[in-house]
Amino acid sequence: MAHQLLTDLTTQGILQCVTALKDAVTIMDERPQTTEAFCEQRRCIRTLSENEKLLLQEIRMVEDAYKALRSNCPAAASDCVGQFNLIHALQAKYNLSFQANVKFSKKMLPVIGQQVAQALQKFTAQCKRILNALETNVTVRNSQTFITGKADFESKLNPLLGLQLDPVVVDDLLAALDNDLMQVQCLMQLTSQPLLYQALATWSNEINYIQDTLELWVAAQHDWVKLDRIFQLPDIQQSVRHANVEFQVLSRKWKAMMKGVRTNTLIQHCVREVTNRTFLGDAKALFERLWKQLVLFLHEKRREFPRFNFVSDRELLAIMAGTTLSLSQPCHDNAGALSVVVSKCFEHVCRISVETIQHIVKSQPASPQSKPTTLPSPTKPTAASTRQHPHAMGSPEESSFGDAPTYSIEVFAVHGQHDETISLNNSVKITQRPEGWMKELAKVLRRAMKENLRHLMAEYSDLLQYYLHDKS
């Protein structure tokens, strides 16, 4: 079988080399007389020259293969000795044709240059005729446009030749113009009073101060709203306690300031007495320092769960804050927000399916020793849904005792980019520590994929054995 493979390889190599040499000799033996054909031949010869090293390398490889075939299987080598010798004959003919083509090219270059020069002269004459015609046409068009415009202007002036203004009307118009000039001068004197200039400067400074204060206020308010949701997370409260204390102190001052603003209707009083630029600047500086501490906190999160390196700081803080909000109240956008982060942490996961479970904490006011009981109420598995358990509804009297509903979110399935779905045997509960439930999701997902693969191999074992046998 090895001899047959070597024979086929040698035969194919000889055939390929013979074909390439014949094509090259055919191209070089042509003697074109026109410029287009000569240029086309030169392009083909340039391509042959660029591929000549590759052709010579293939010929050497064929020679090595033929020597190996002659040593191992002389009978097969004798069958293709004619084609092998033809390679050397064609190679010699190729060299002769190349030299002859070089001589032909040197001979034809002056002729081709003369043909090109004649064609250029012909085209130059045509371009000159076209240019002269264009210049004549442009001159005629400009003259026509000028004549037409002059005629239109004269046609508009002709009806006015017979009109004359009444001297009385002219005198009235001049008197009215003088009165207008006097009024303008009076107004200019009024606006040039020092007191007016001083009042305008004072109002300009006040407006600039209010505008700068409001811009700083809006920027600080934007940071406070985001940080207020973030510092509600128990994980952040425990991990960055000093930053949490600083934020809570400033947050109480901020809320008191906003309460005073709501009860005041004068903007000048608000920006100077209720709040001031110094307080807003200190708050802005504190917010920036808190953001830096949160970046260090998120670095610890990424060290615990390296897949968070694919998520930006703001996205990670947003999912932590969104998880807290989701656990406190149901929202249909929870699945979408969680799916975005999961898809960034897990490459081939497109979205996830979650279910929201409501827990009703029952309080018994009649018995002080009784403890509150929690009744879980799982919902129907959907992308994001919330439904109360029938037993948790209770009577109106029971609902008046102050039931405290809480919510938990669990992931029960993941979906890929090609509509494939993997159902998780154990649902992953979403907690306020994303690195924890993300790591658990990775373990459960890996376990589910292993079980699905084991089930697939067991179900299609015959087909798998046939495929492996066919590949071997």
What CATH number corresponds to the domain at position 269?
A: 1.20.140.100
pLDDT of residue 191: 58
**Domain boundary pick from 94, 114, 130:** 130
Place of tokens 């998120």: 298
411 and 294 together in one domain: no
- Read off the pTM: 0.39
pLDDT of residue 252: 92
pLDDT of residue 470: 60
Whether residue 297 is contained in a domain is answered as: yes
Q: Are 430 and 356 in contact (CB under 8 A)?
A: no
CA–CA dist 293, 276 (Å, integer): 26
pLDDT of residue 383: 43
Whether residue 442 is contained in a domain is answered as: yes
Mode of pairing for the β-strands spanning 386-387 and 349-362? parallel
Whether residue 152 is contained in a domain is answered as: no
**Domain boundary pick from 72, 96, 130:** 130
Range of the domain at 353: 331-446
32 and 114 together in one domain: yes
CA–CA dist 187, 181 (Å, integer): 10
End-to-end, the C-alpha distance of the chain in Å comes to: 17
Number of domains in the chain: 3
CA 53 to chain centre: 45
Whether residue 399 is contained in a domain is answered as: yes
Ordered per-residue pLDDT tens for the chain, 472 residues? 666 777 777 777 778 887 887 888 788 777 777 777 777 777 888 887 777 778 777 878 887 777 777 777 777 777 777 777 777 777 788 788 888 877 777 777 777 777 788 888 888 888 988 988 888 888 888 888 888 888 887 777 777 666 666 677 777 878 888 888 888 777 776 656 677 778 778 888 888 888 888 898 898 998 888 888 888 877 778 778 888 899 999 999 989 888 888 888 788 888 888 788 888 899 999 999 988 888 888 888 888 888 888 878 877 776 676 666 556 655 656 667 777 778 878 888 888 888 877 766 555 544 444 344 333 434 434 443 333 433 333 433 344 444 556 677 888 888 988 888 888 888 888 877 778 888 888 888 888 888 888 888 887 777 767 666 665 5
CA–CA dist 321, 230 (Å, integer): 5
Q: How many CB atoms lie within 10 A of CB 342?
A: 22
Q: Are 320 and 235 in contact (CB under 8 A)?
A: yes
Whether residue 227 is contained in a domain is answered as: yes
CA–CA dist 312, 321 (Å, integer): 14
AA letter at 196:
L
pLDDT of residue 285: 92
**Domain boundary pick from 130, 164, 187:** 130
126 and 82 together in one domain: yes
pLDDT of residue 113: 79
CA–CA dist 380, 252 (Å, integer): 41
224 and 275 together in one domain: yes
335 and 290 together in one domain: no
15 and 62 together in one domain: yes
CA–CA dist 450, 189 (Å, integer): 92
Between the alpha carbon of residue 24 and those of residues 13, 28, 97, 212, 455, the distances in Å are 17, 6, 9, 81, 60
Whether residue 75 is contained in a domain is answered as: yes
356 and 297 together in one domain: no
415 and 376 together in one domain: yes
pLDDT of residue 469: 64
pLDDT of residue 378: 42
83 and 31 together in one domain: yes
The shares of helix, strand and coil residues in the chain, as percent rounded to the nearest 5, are 75, 10, 15
99 and 35 together in one domain: yes
Whether residue 278 is contained in a domain is answered as: yes
279 and 338 together in one domain: no
291 and 357 together in one domain: no
Establish how many alpha carbons lie within 13 A of residue 52's alpha carbon, considering only the half-sphere containing its beta carbon.
12
Q: How many CB atoms lie within 10 A of CB 424?
A: 18
Q: Are 338 and 360 in contact (CB under 8 A)?
A: no
pLDDT of residue 286: 92
Whether residue 459 is contained in a domain is answered as: no
